[in-house]
Structure 1
Amino acid sequence: EAAGALNVALLAAPLTLADEKRLMSLRTPIDDFHANKREVYWLCQTKQSESTFSNAVFERALGKRATFRGMSTIRKLAAKYPPAAR
């Protein structure tokens, strides 16, 4: 497990302002978050096993289901399923 990782949570619906406030309350010196519509970005600046944050912590704190994936997985999915030509 490499030190430092950027993960993305894919949500069914955008976070509300109250949800974002609860998410930001989960910040720690090693964990930072950014919400953008139906995506939550989690920057873990050390090994994830050393973090107190997890998918379960997110779901309990916000009462929403989420699927967290590493950026390498997101890139692979984006390459496999590119946006349709317009």
Structure 2
Amino acid sequence: MALQPGTFGASASVGKAAGAERFLGRWSDYARSGHGDNGAIKDLAGADASHARHFQFSILRVFSPSAPAAQLDAAEAHFRKHCSHAVSVNLS
């Protein structure tokens, strides 16, 4: 579970990095492409090409690779609720 702070006019975002490669795979995609195939970040990157050079995130919680999807979804909802300034931009 990670928090991407709002930078350059973007809203903050809470999201999960599920899948076999977890954080490494998810954030490697962001570093490689500048948007990780995330629709809202693609829009931001299109409006400000420098955004990718300033990409940041904070790890909020780490789960076992075998954690059930329902547990990840519940944690994501929890952090979104308690990080009231954070909204999802996970359109990928």
TM-score by length of 2: 0.28
Instruction: Report the structure number with the largest CA radius of gyration.
Output: 1
Quick one: higher RCO (CA 8 Å, sep 6+), 1 or 2? 2
Question: Larger % of helix: which?
Answer: 2
TM-score by length of 1: 0.30
